[in-house]
Amino acid sequence: MKYGIVGSSGRMGRELIEVFGPENCVATISLEDETILDSPEVIVDFSRPEALKRTLEVCREYRSALVLGTTALTEDHMVQVKELAQSVAVVQGYNFSVGIGVLRMILRQYAPALSEWDVEISETHHIHKVDAPSGTAITLKKEVGRDCPTHSLRMGGVPGDHSVSFANEGEVLTLTHRAISRKVFAMGALQAARFAIGQQPGLYDFEEVVSCAL
């Protein structure tokens, strides 16, 4: 698979190149540099929202599928992503770990049974993460189906911890996901890239990639 990375010099970019295999990397884009050696079948963007404009241009020019992991995208960004998705397959997600995909499914199915309970979400990430709350926390809140307090900690080198706690007068139920390393997101992105290549144009959620394994 010939692929390109947007955000290639970043923490995720370096991890992605290692997991996808450096030999098939035909394009790298970052703040510091842009190199396009060949036509990428898929572009994988884990960078900043400001990079999206260039990502969309490159996908259009080479008709590349897109795997989009950048967080803190606005509604306007998503309108632009949906426009691209009319011509190529786009897999977008704020968390490319399979465990979070499964946690989302569990919440969607069972949170209604706890609708009378208190619910709070907490997330912990490394000190370099710029957005808070995390995109994943926002997604989990949607799955809970109601507004709830969300707590963000920025500490050390934590790749990403998320907990959803439900409580009533007599019991507490906590569902926790911990990413042990960034590699997990890169492995999920690789799964998403394989899914996207050869897929009909459209906007796909990473959860659809996870569901393929069920």
Q: Nearest distance from residue 21's CB to ligand NAD, in Å?
A: 18
What's 43's DSSP letter? E
Distance CA 153, CA 123 (A): 6
The reply to whether 77 sits near ligand NAD by the rule CB under 6 A is no
* Closer Cβ to ligand NAD, 2 or 14, answer by number: 14
Query: Angle at CA 126, nearest 5°, toward 195 and 97?
Result: 20
Q: Which of 84, 86, 107 is nearest to 95 (CA)?
A: 107
Q: Which of 64, 95, 139, 163 binds ligand NAD (CB under 6 A)?
A: 95
Concatenate the DSSP letters of all residues of 110-176 into one string.
HGGGGTTSEEEEEEEE-TT---SS-HHHHHHHHHHTS---EEEEE-TT---EEEEEEE-SS-EEEEE
Are the C-beta atoms of residues 46 and 4 closer than 8 Å to each other?
A: no
- Tell me if residue 162 is catalytic: no
The reply to whether 127 sits near ligand NAD by the rule CB under 6 A is no
Give the per-residue contact string, 185-204, with ligand NAD (x = CB under 6 A; - = no). x-------------------
* Closer Cβ to ligand NAD, 31 or 173, answer by number: 31
Q: Which of 25, 65, 70, 88 binds ligand NAD (CB under 6 A)?
A: 70
177 - beta bridge partners?
Answer: 162
Catalytic residue among 2, 53, 126, 129: 129
Are the C-beta atoms of residues 159 and 181 closer than 8 Å to each other?
A: yes
Residue nearest to ligand NAD (CB): 10
Site for ligand NAD in 13-32 (CB under 6 A): 13, 29-32
Q: Which of 93, 121, 137, 141 binds ligand NAD (CB under 6 A)?
A: 93
Distance CA 26, CA 40 (A): 6
Q: Nearest distance from residue 117's CB to ligand NAD, in Å?
A: 28
- Tell me if residue 126 is catalytic: no
Q: Which of 3, 62, 94, 166 binds ligand NAD (CB under 6 A)?
A: 94
Taking phi first (over 0 means left), then psi (-120 to 50 degrees means alpha), and beta for anything else, what does residue 155 get? beta
Catalytic residue among 77, 125, 151, 162: 125
The reply to whether 96 sits near ligand NAD by the rule CB under 6 A is yes
Are the C-beta atoms of residues 175 and 168 closer than 8 Å to each other?
A: no
Residues noted as catalytic: 125, 129
Binding site for ligand NAD (CB under 6 A): 6-13, 29-32, 46-48, 50-51, 54, 69-71, 93-96, 185
